[in-house]
Structure 1
């Protein structure tokens, strides 16, 4: 069909999360060093337009604050040349300890991260 397989979009979202983590210091290693994991528990993708092999994409990643102890992101993937929206998505990750037990309170390191970065994180327009 000469289009990108739908499953590859999950990797594009991961690339967006990793870029966000590098820029804002919320990477997996940061949380692992504090004794926490953040497994993915929800993934929703809304496909808008097919992507063809060779297209260059731009992934916009936005942190979405939550009143509960989880990390939520929203994404927009666009064709880099035309700026056409090809998909929107959202992911949710929860906190676990080293025994993979769900944490009902946010880790102190995450609370500190929110206090530092939340005021400066602008939403996707």
Structure 2
């Protein structure tokens, strides 16, 4: 499971006057993908935060190839790029029901110790789960 796929139905409130998904909503879609990718690994943001770890986004790059539209059923694929260290990096692909590639993106997040508010290495418990996937 170096990647996972979730389905997203575009809601009316997520579109602009042209019935296209407003560009600012893509960041939320990518967060949904990352959250579910981690959840499938047995890790939740809630548990990380309870153990004193934050995972803020430090970089997000999006390439809009074709517009997603109101009521489209999108497939969002979230892919782990490489073995994490203090940072974790994901690529994303959004496709429509016709399997057309609409959007690609990349994000980098950093593990942060909530007590010190400083970057930290990935916790061993999380790294071990990811390493099992990479075998």
Measured against the shorter chain, the TM-score band is 0.7 to 0.9
- Which residue does the alignment assign to 1:122? none
Separation of aligned partners in 2, 1:108 and 1:6? 36
- Which residue does the alignment assign to 1:123? none
Are 2:52 and 1:46 equivalent residues in the alignment?
no
Are 2:6 and 1:21 equivalent residues in the alignment?
no
TM-score normalised to structure 1 length: 0.83
Contact conserved, 1:51 with 1:86, CA < 8 A, in 2? yes
Deviation track 1:35-84 (CA, whole Å, cap 9, x = no partner) reads: 211111011100000111111100001111146421111100000x2100
Correspondence for 1:101 among 118, 123, 129: 118
TM-score normalised to structure 2 length: 0.77
SS at match of 1:65: coil
Two-structure CA RMSD over aligned residues (Å)? 1.7
Long gaps (5+) in structure 1: 120-125
1:1-125 residue pairs with structure 2 within 5 A? 1-66=18-83, 68-79=85-96, 81-99=97-115, 100-103=117-120, 105-119=121-135
SS at match of 1:72: strand
4+ residue segments displaced more than 4 Å: none
Long gaps (5+) in structure 2: 1-17
Separation of aligned partners in 2, 1:67 and 1:39? 14
SS at match of 1:59: strand
Q: Which structure dedicates a bigger proportion of its chain to strand?
A: 2
SS at match of 1:87: strand
Separation of aligned partners in 1, 2:100 and 2:28? 19
SS at match of 1:44: strand
